[in-house]
């Protein structure tokens, strides 16, 4: 007995401790400390707010703009320009771990002199691609804004124009789209040029310096549009701006590998525009009336899970809506029944 | 002052005297040489002014024989070959139909350009595993997309054109004023995207039916067409409706770049056709010329075009094919008519190729132009 006791002198305590540990882990798993409200709860919350009239809170707008100015300075840093990225500057990619490029003569010549907008912009519409836009009839209202921003080269054909409008001043394009839909622009380029014709005189905003793999396709978009003398111009996203915006939202409690393009755009819009209205930001599978909707207004391709934290982002935006910083359009702008009868 | 070297008068066959004698002997020999050659030059000069000699005159037969009997380039000194070639210029050139036909039938047996010059849907069906010319382990699988790029069948047939001009880029074309004579041909081949701007057109002409593009040019000057493409398109536009010919299946590096050329022209809605050399044709042609003594890593594009032209045309005229640092009169010339960038040494065997052309000229199979033109 004595030998055994000597062999296992501290057996009993660790068994108890690990049992306790397992118990705590299980408890945390079942009732987590940090827990996101699920879809139903969010919809309920939104519905509660729905009856109240929304009013822009100008002090809140000014305050939020000041916050953004302090952290990220959208007016200067929104895009890569000759002013904010002089030649020879070392540029750290925001989506890679320790990877940078130095701006050389060839790259430098692709940048505009300064951010090419008349700042501040008056009324802005930021259009997400959520399925909630389908049959919303918001096209007219979206087009009424002075400046319309869209995400990820969305389709704007005539069947959608009633719901999403037709005006565009800025559209983002993800390099992965260029890769998937246009074979990295290494072969035929006509299809791409034809597909961006719907955006008329708009800027195509590309995160060229976020991922290693994105630089080539993004620069090629520039070359292609220049070759064809297209009306669209390319703006390259500034990785420093994207990183600052990411940090800003992280401090507000968004846990994701990377923010979605939509949130980047909304943040930029809040810094650049006086009045911001956002459409189609609704990352859930049911609408306010409990009807199932598609993921995008044009298709139902679900994204890779675990990359973006859409519900968290939505909650942040919803908070901004409630505090009167921006307006979030979730209801249809026109009654679909009167729309169809008209 | 009264001092003189006492031994100086005795140094009859000393160093200084011997040295003096040597110098004198050398001078005399040089003088004699000059006199002899001078007379020769003088004679030839007068002969030239009697007007070009008839093709079948004994003198011309002799002169042609002079060149034909040089079997290997190293048999004679280069200056000697130049001299013989220069004297042959006195003679009119005529096609020797029997010789030419004999040669053409040899070519049709070995290479058969009218069927195999380009990759076509007929000779390269869908699913073919195309072998590269140099990367023997490399195989290119012809898929639907590539297959659609190929023409249905060869656009040219045997002896379709009466008179063809193959224009090399040799510096000999500079100030040759051959532009109009080149343009008067029914079909004009050009090599490696040569400039034909106003600066050069009196010498090289503008008519172009087929222009070859070396993928290395695309890689170097146009960033593999991965960046801007308009500059490349603009360069091709200069040749108007010329077809673009690329060695896409020469090695694996060339393929992507060459295929991109087709996309560029399609994107800009150009009417120009894009053709690709059939790798088997290239293999056959280089094998044939290896048998004729052209030992090189690779035969030049010019030689391939001339070989193809011999099958596609009745009469073939060569302009700007002269790969020596000086022209036949011994005056130094630039390497190309537009620049003086020397090629990589040991890649092409240019002198040996030109030597073959001179032989063929003497036999009456084709005509090599090395002088100035006074046509039209």
Q: What is the pLDDT of residues A264-305, one digit of tens each?
A: 999 999 999 999 999 999 988 888 888 888 989 998 888 777
Distance of alpha carbon A319 from alpha carbon B350, whole angstroms: 78
**pLDDT over threshold 70, residue A35:** no
User: Directed axis angle between helix A239-251 and helix A261-272, to 10°?
Assistant: 100
Out of A188, A223, A228, closest to residue B227 by CB: A223
Does B226 contact A190 at a Cβ distance shorter than 8 Å?
no
- Largest Cα span, chain A: 94
Tell whether B260 lies on the interface with A, counting CB pairs under 8 A.
yes
User: Same structural domain for residues B80 and B129?
Assistant: no
User: Same structural domain for residues B38 and B185?
Assistant: no
**pLDDT over threshold 80, residue A31:** no
Does B226 contact A220 at a Cβ distance shorter than 8 Å?
yes
How many C-beta atoms lie closer than 10 Å to residue B359's C-beta?
18
Out of A186, A190, A219, closest to residue B267 by CB: A190
User: Same structural domain for residues B237 and B343?
Assistant: yes
Closest CA to A235 of A267, A203, A261: A203
Phi, psi of A125 (to 5 degrees): -115, 130
Q: Are A327 and A278 in contact (CB under 8 A)?
A: yes
Task: Indicate whether B313 belongs to any domain.
Answer: yes
User: Same structural domain for residues B65 and B191?
Assistant: no
Tell whether B229 lies on the interface with A, counting CB pairs under 8 A.
yes
Query: Total structural domains in chain B?
Result: 2
Distance of alpha carbon B274 from alpha carbon B150, whole angstroms: 8
Taking phi over 0 as left and psi of -120 to 50 as alpha, with beta for the rest, B293 belongs to: left
Give the pLDDT band (50/70/90) at residue A1: very low
Distance from CA of B363 to the nearest CA of A (A): 48
Closest CA to A147 of A119, A180, A174: A119
Distance of alpha carbon B302 from alpha carbon B272, whole angstroms: 21
Distance from CA of A310 to the nearest CA of B (A): 36
User: Same structural domain for residues B115 and B183?
Assistant: yes
**Residue positions of B annotated with a catalytic role:** 348
**pLDDT over threshold 70, residue A314:** yes
CA A32, A33, A34, A39 dihedral sign is: positive
Does B229 contact A223 at a Cβ distance shorter than 8 Å?
yes
Distance from CA of B241 to the nearest CA of A (A): 21
Distance from CA of B263 to the nearest CA of A (A): 5
Q: What domain range includes position B39? A: 11-88
Residue B13's pLDDT is 67
**pLDDT over threshold 70, residue A3:** no
Tell whether B230 lies on the interface with A, counting CB pairs under 8 A.
yes
Does B267 contact A226 at a Cβ distance shorter than 8 Å?
no
Supply A160's token pair.
């959608």
**pLDDT over threshold 60, residue A5:** no
CATH number at residue B178: 3.90.1480.20
Distance from CA of B248 to the nearest CA of A (A): 15
User: Same structural domain for residues B72 and B124?
Assistant: no
pLDDT digits (tens, 9 = 90+) for A172-201: 999 999 999 999 899 999 999 999 999 999
pLDDT digits (tens, 9 = 90+) for B299-354: 889 999 999 999 999 999 999 998 888 888 888 899 899 988 888 777 788 888 99
Task: Indicate whether B4 belongs to any domain.
Answer: no
Task: Indicate whether B361 belongs to any domain.
Answer: yes
User: Same structural domain for residues B103 and B81?
Assistant: no
Give the number of A-B residue pairs with CB atoms closer than 8 Å.
Answer: 31
Q: In the listed set B64, B88, B112, which residue is the last one of a domain according to the structure?
A: B88
Interface with chain B: mutation pick from A104, A110, A185, A188, highest number of B CBs within 10 Å: A188
- Judged by DSSP in three states, B157 sits in coil
User: Same structural domain for residues B83 and B224?
Assistant: no
Does A187 contact B228 at a Cβ distance shorter than 8 Å?
no
Does B267 contact A189 at a Cβ distance shorter than 8 Å?
yes
Task: Indicate whether B375 belongs to any domain.
Answer: no
Distance from CA of B362 to the nearest CA of A (A): 48
Give the pLDDT band (50/70/90) at residue A342: very low
Q: In the listed set B88, B106, B132, which residue is the last one of a domain according to the structure?
A: B88
Interface with chain A: mutation pick from B236, B267, B268, B269, highest number of A CBs within 10 Å: B267
**pLDDT over threshold 50, residue A340:** no
Tell whether B267 lies on the interface with A, counting CB pairs under 8 A.
yes
Distance of alpha carbon A161 from alpha carbon A150, whole angstroms: 13
User: Same structural domain for residues B337 and B248?
Assistant: yes
Element (H, E) at B367: strand B367-369
CA A49 and chain centroid, separation: 24
Residue B212's pLDDT is 94
Task: Indicate whether B376 belongs to any domain.
Answer: no
User: Which residues of B are less than 8 Å from A220 in CB distance?
Assistant: 226-227
Distance from CA of B259 to the nearest CA of A (A): 8
pLDDT digits (tens, 9 = 90+) for B214-262: 998 899 999 989 999 999 999 999 998 899 999 998 888 889 999 999 9
User: Which residues of B are less than 8 Å from A187 in CB distance?
Assistant: 259-260, 263
Does A190 contact B266 at a Cβ distance shorter than 8 Å?
yes
Q: Which residues of A touch B (CB under 8 A)?
A: 186-190, 193, 216, 219-220, 223-224, 226-228
Strands (E), B175-284: 187-190, 210-212, 243-246, 274-276
User: Same structural domain for residues B69 and B114?
Assistant: no
Distance of alpha carbon A238 from alpha carbon A251, whole angstroms: 20
User: Which residues of B are less than 8 Å from A216 in CB distance?
Assistant: 226
Distance of alpha carbon B287 from alpha carbon B283, whole angstroms: 6
Percent of chain A with pLDDT over 90: 51
User: Which residues of A are less than 8 Å from B227 in CB distance?
Assistant: 219-220, 223
> Which residues, 6+ apart, have CB-to-CB distance to B68 below 8 Å?
B359, B362, B363
Interface with chain A: mutation pick from B146, B228, B258, B262, highest number of A CBs within 10 Å: B228
Residue A206's pLDDT is 93
Residue A289's pLDDT is 83
Does B229 contact A216 at a Cβ distance shorter than 8 Å?
no
Interface with chain B: mutation pick from A186, A219, A226, A229, highest number of B CBs within 10 Å: A186
How many C-beta atoms lie closer than 10 Å to residue B43's C-beta?
10
Q: In the listed set B71, B88, B105, which residue is the last one of a domain according to the structure?
A: B88
Out of A186, A188, A223, closest to residue B266 by CB: A188
Does A216 contact B260 at a Cβ distance shorter than 8 Å?
no
Task: Indicate whether B1 belongs to any domain.
Answer: no
Does A226 contact B228 at a Cβ distance shorter than 8 Å?
yes
Which segments in chain B show pLDDT lower than 50? 42, 49, 376
Supply A244's token pair.
């600052």
Distance from CA of A183 to the nearest CA of B (A): 12
Between the CA of residue A231 and those of A127, A194, A227, B263, B286, what are the distances in Å?
21, 11, 11, 22, 50
CA gyration radius, chain A:
24
Q: Spell A307-319 as b/e; 16+ CB within 10 A means b.
A: ebbbebbbbbbbe
Out of B226, B228, B230, closest to residue A186 by CB: B226
Out of B226, B233, B267, closest to residue A188 by CB: B267
DSSP string covering A1-70:
-HHHHHHSTT-HHHHHHHHHHHHHHHHHHHS-SS----HHHHHHHHHHHHTSPP---HHHHHHHHHHHHH
Tell whether B69 lies on the interface with A, counting CB pairs under 8 A.
no
Task: Indicate whether B132 belongs to any domain.
Answer: yes
Indicate the DSSP class of residue A136: -
Q: Is the ipTM reported for this complex over the cut 0.85?
A: no
User: Same structural domain for residues B197 and B340?
Assistant: yes
> Which residues, 6+ apart, have CB-to-CB distance to A77 below 8 Å?
A84, A238, A240, A241, A244
Strands A233-236 and A273-279: unpaired
User: Same structural domain for residues B50 and B102?
Assistant: no
Distance of alpha carbon B204 from alpha carbon B192, whole angstroms: 14
Residue A253's pLDDT is 82
Identify whether A120 is preceded by a cis peptide bond (ω within 30 of 0): yes
**pLDDT over threshold 70, residue A9:** no
Q: Are A178 and A210 in contact (CB under 8 A)?
A: no
Residue A119's pLDDT is 81
Strands (E), chain A: 90-92, 100-102, 121-127, 147-150, 170-172, 203-206, 233-236, 273-279, 327-329
Task: Indicate whether B285 belongs to any domain.
Answer: yes
Distance of alpha carbon B190 from alpha carbon B41, whole angstroms: 36
User: Which residues of A are less than 8 Å from B263 in CB distance?
Assistant: 187-189
């Amino acid at each position: 007995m004595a030998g055994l006791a000597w062999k296992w002198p501290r057996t009993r305590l660790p068994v108890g401790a690990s049992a306790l540990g397992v118990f705590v882990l299980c408890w945390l798993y079942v009732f987590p400390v940090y827990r996101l409200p699920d879809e139903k709860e969010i919809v309920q919350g939104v519905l509660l707010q729905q009856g109240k009239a929304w009013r822009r809170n100008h002090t809140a707008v000014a305050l939020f703009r000041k916050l953004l100015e302090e952290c990220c300075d959208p007016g200067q840093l929104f895009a890569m320009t000759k002013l904010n990225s002089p030649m020879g500057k070392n540029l750290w990619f925001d989506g890679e771990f320790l990877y940078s490029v130095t701006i050389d003569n060839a790259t430098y010549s692709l940048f505009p002199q300064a951010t090419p907008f008349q700042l501040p912009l008056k009324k802005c519409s930021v259009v997400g691609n959520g399925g909630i836009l389908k049959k919303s009839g918001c096209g007219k209202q979206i087009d009424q804004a002075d400046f319309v921003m869209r995400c990820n080269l969305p389709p704007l054909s005539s069947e959608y124009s009633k719901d999403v409008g037709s005006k565009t001043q800025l559209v983002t394009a993800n390099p992965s789209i260029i890769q998937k839909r246009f074979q990295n622009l290494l072969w035929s380029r006509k299809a791409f040029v034809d597909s961006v014709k719907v955006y008329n005189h708009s800027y195509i905003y590309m995160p060229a310096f976020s991922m290693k793999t994105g630089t080539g396709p993004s620069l090629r978009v520039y070359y292609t549009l220049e070759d064809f003398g297209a009306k669209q111009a390319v703006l390259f996203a500034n990785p420093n701006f994207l990183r600052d915006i990411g940090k800003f939202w992280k401090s507000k409690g968004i846990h994701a590998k990377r923010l979605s393009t939509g949130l980047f755009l909304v943040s930029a819009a809040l810094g650049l525009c006086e009045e911001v209205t956002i459409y189609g930001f609704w990352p859930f599978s049911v609408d306010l009336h409990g009807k199932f909707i598609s993921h995008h207004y044009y298709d139902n391709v679900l994204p890779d899970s675990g990359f973006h934290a859409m519900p968290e982002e939505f909650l942040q935006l919803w908070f901004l809506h409630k505090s009167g910083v921006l307006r979030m359009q979730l209801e249809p702008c026109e009654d679909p029944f009167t729309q169809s009868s008209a | 002052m009264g001092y003189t070297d006492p031994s100086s008068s005795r140094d009859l066959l000393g160093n200084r005297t011997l040295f003096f004698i040597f110098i004198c002997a050398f001078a005399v020999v040089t003088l004699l040489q000059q006199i002899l050659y001078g007379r020769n030059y003088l004679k030839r000069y007068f002969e030239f002014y009697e007007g070009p000699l008839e093709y079948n005159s004994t003198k011309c037969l002799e002169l042609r024989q002079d060149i034909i009997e040089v079997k290997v380039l190293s048999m004679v000194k280069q200056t000697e070959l130049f001299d013989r070639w220069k004297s042959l210029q006195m003679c009119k050139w005529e096609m020797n139909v029997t010789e030419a036909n004999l040669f053409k039938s040899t070519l049709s047996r070995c290479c058969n350009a009218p069927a195999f010059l380009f990759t076509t849907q007929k000779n390269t069906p869908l699913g073919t595993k195309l072998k590269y010319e140099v990367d023997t382990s490399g195989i290119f699988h012809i898929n639907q997309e590539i297959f659609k790029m190929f023409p249905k069948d060869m656009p040219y047939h045997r002896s379709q054109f009466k008179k063809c001009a193959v224009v090399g880029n040799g510096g000999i074309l500079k100030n040759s004023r051959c532009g109009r004579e080149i343009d008067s041909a029914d079909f004009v081949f050009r090599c490696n995207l040569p400039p034909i701007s106003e600066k050069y057109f009196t010498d090289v002409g503008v008519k172009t039916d087929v222009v070859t593009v070396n993928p290395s040019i695309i890689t170097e000057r146009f960033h593999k067409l991965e960046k801007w493409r308009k500059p490349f398109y603009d360069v091709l536009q200069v040749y108007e409706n010329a077809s673009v010919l690329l060695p896409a299946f020469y090695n694996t590096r060339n393929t992507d770049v060459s295929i991109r050329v087709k996309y560029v022209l399609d994107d800009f809605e150009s009417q120009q056709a894009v053709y690709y050399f059939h790798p088997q044709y290239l293999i056959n042609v280089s094998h044939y010329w290896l048998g004729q003594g052209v030992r090189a890593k690779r035969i030049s594009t010019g030689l391939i075009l001339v070989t193809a032209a011999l099958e596609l045309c009745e009469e073939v005229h060569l302009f700007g094919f002269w790969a020596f640092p000086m022209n036949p009169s011994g005056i130094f010339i630039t390497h190309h008519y537009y620049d003086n960038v020397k090629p990589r040494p040991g890649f092409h065997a240019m002198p040996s190729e030109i030597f073959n052309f001179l032989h063929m000229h003497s036999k009456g199979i084709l005509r090599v132009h090395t002088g100035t033109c006074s046509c039209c």
